Structure 1
Amino acid sequence: MADEKLTQLADPASAIASYLDELLHTATDTALREDIREPEPVPEARPEPKPVSLMETPTQALQTQEIVASAPEPTVEPMPETPALRPEWSERPFECLIFTVAGLQLAVPLVLLGAIHRIEEDIRPIPGSPRWYMGIRPATHQNLRVVDTAEWIMAGRVPIGARDNYRFVIRLDNSEWGLACDDVAQSFTLSPDDVRWRTARSKRPWLAGTVIEQMCALVDVRTMADLLVRAEREHHLDLN
């Protein structure tokens, strides 16, 4: 009910602007911390050989030195490697496609864009599904599970009637999932430096970064597909 009230009361332009600001903040809020690293652990000093006491016998002194010499050196645990947050396709220039959802611009790399389908008939709903799951789009070779993209990424701030504007479905790589959207634009080439990449993914893990010039969110397609599989299995909405 709370989400429905927010949806009904939200001014569409304000909701979109607010969410875009939040996306851009999420994509850049860790940039200032990317050079901060935990201090390297300081190895413990190797124990010094015990000095030979004048009162020890030669045999006792020899035994003491042998024990010290055979003692294992303290091991220093290596620093855990930072997980690779940037997708492999981001290491070189890549083609990108911008699409719009409820006035919000999102971008996907063409290398992981499976196909673009026009919505020519109603999506077949699945009883008991969460709001973000529109249903099934039948196809000759593969049925497509269609996501109400606005409900999925803008839960609580979706403009009224956003679903009525959907005209296309973008299939994510070779998965069974597709994102419903209002429109698609022409593709263009990005270099890695054209994107402000995220340095952490604790929130909105599907958000790879921000396309600087267009100021739009860049989708990590494979992460998004994985999240959708998990969400369907766990039957919930909150994927942030």
Structure 2
Amino acid sequence: MADDKLTRLADPASAIASYLDDLLHTATDTARQEDMAVAEVSPKQDSEPVVERVPEPDPEPAVSKPAPEVKVAESQPEPEPGPESPPSRPEWSEHPFECLIFTVAGLQLAVPLILLGAIHRIEESVRHIPGSPRWYMGIRADSDHNLRVVDTAEWIMAGRAPANARDNYRFVIRLDNSDWGLACDDVAQSFTLKPDDVRWRTARSKRPWLAGTVVNHMCALIDVRTMADLLIRAEREHHLDLS
């Protein structure tokens, strides 16, 4: 039985390792591209263009002209702002901050304690919503709050999650004061991070929820508010976009 279990876990473990490598690459690729852009120098022209002089025509007698009519430009309405893009650095990252590590299908994730709403133990099965997407586990009913529970592995790993990931979920981490919670296997220690301990992302076109990576802990740092906004939008549009 032990050998059979190790065989079943081999592929998921490889997928998790590959995904973590991808996260680290995503967080560092932008910084590398920016360094290359700074090093580039715009080419200089070899010589200035030759300007042929044209003889000036004889001056014509001056004729008085009426002053041009000055029109007052009508005020134009200001354009509506486009969709907000996630900030390159969350506001809570300007000073040292406390973080909590939790694990999902063997992957380590970190969330800042200042935006951790609560930690709930999964003691009863989450109520499934018929017709919901795969990442939406369902509703965790509570005496004063119904929490929308996310299959975190399915949401963030884009098809690389182990098939039995849900079997190991024991906790739900609520994102700030939102209605959303991330299901996870276990909750580990909390620790203090200095801003320089994180490889911050300066662009968020891919995986906007990823604020950066903590290389020393080999974990991904979540931008909680961006994650909650993405979940709200995904629920509204009822489709999953992990590109």
- Pairwise same-fold verdict (TM > 0.5): yes
Report the TM-score range of the alignment, normalised by the length of the smaller protein. 0.7 to 0.9
Residue aligning to 2:60 = 56
Aligned-residue offset at 1:34: 2.9
Q: What SS does the aligned partner of 2:216 have?
A: coil
The CA distance in 2 between the partners of 1:83 and 1:101, in whole Å, is 24
Aligned-residue offset at 1:84: 3.6
Query: CA offsets per residue over residues 89-118 of structure 1, 9 Å max, x none?
Result: 111111111100000000011111100001
Maintained 8 Å contact 2:86/2:204: no
The CA distance in 1 between the partners of 2:87 and 2:41, in whole Å, is 20
Q: What SS does the aligned partner of 1:213 have?
A: helix
The CA distance in 1 between the partners of 2:9 and 2:188, in whole Å, is 30
Query: CA offsets per residue over residues 165-204 of structure 1, 9 Å max, x none?
Result: 0010000000000000000112111011000001111111
The CA distance in 2 between the partners of 1:27 and 1:13, in whole Å, is 21
Aligned-residue offset at 1:9: 11
The CA distance in 2 between the partners of 1:83 and 1:128, in whole Å, is 30
The CA distance in 2 between the partners of 1:212 and 1:16, in whole Å, is 16
Q: What SS does the aligned partner of 1:152 have?
A: helix
Aligned partner of 2:234 among 231, 234, 238: 231
Maintained 8 Å contact 1:227/1:239: no
Maintained 8 Å contact 1:130/1:235: yes
**1:139 and 2:142 equivalent?**
yes
The CA distance in 1 between the partners of 2:87 and 2:226, in whole Å, is 13
Q: What SS does the aligned partner of 1:21 have?
A: helix
Residue aligning to 1:17 = 17
Residue aligning to 1:100 = 103
The CA distance in 1 between the partners of 2:20 and 2:184, in whole Å, is 16
Unaligned stretches of 5+ residues in structure 1: 1-7, 41-51, 68-81
The CA distance in 2 between the partners of 1:144 and 1:39, in whole Å, is 53
Residue aligning to 2:130 = 127
Aligned partner of 2:156 among 153, 157, 168: 153
Aligned-residue offset at 1:20: 0.7
Maintained 8 Å contact 1:195/1:210: yes
Residue aligning to 1:199 = 202
Amino acid at match of 2:111: V
Aligned-residue offset at 1:239: 2.8
Aligned-residue offset at 1:53: 6.6
TM-score under structure 1 length normalisation: 0.78
Identity of aligned residues (%): 79
Unaligned stretches of 5+ residues in structure 2: 1-7, 43-55, 69-84
Residue aligning to 1:208 = 211
In structure 2, do the counterparts of structure 1 residues 114 and 123 end up closer, same or farther at CA, with 3 Å as the change threshold?
A: same
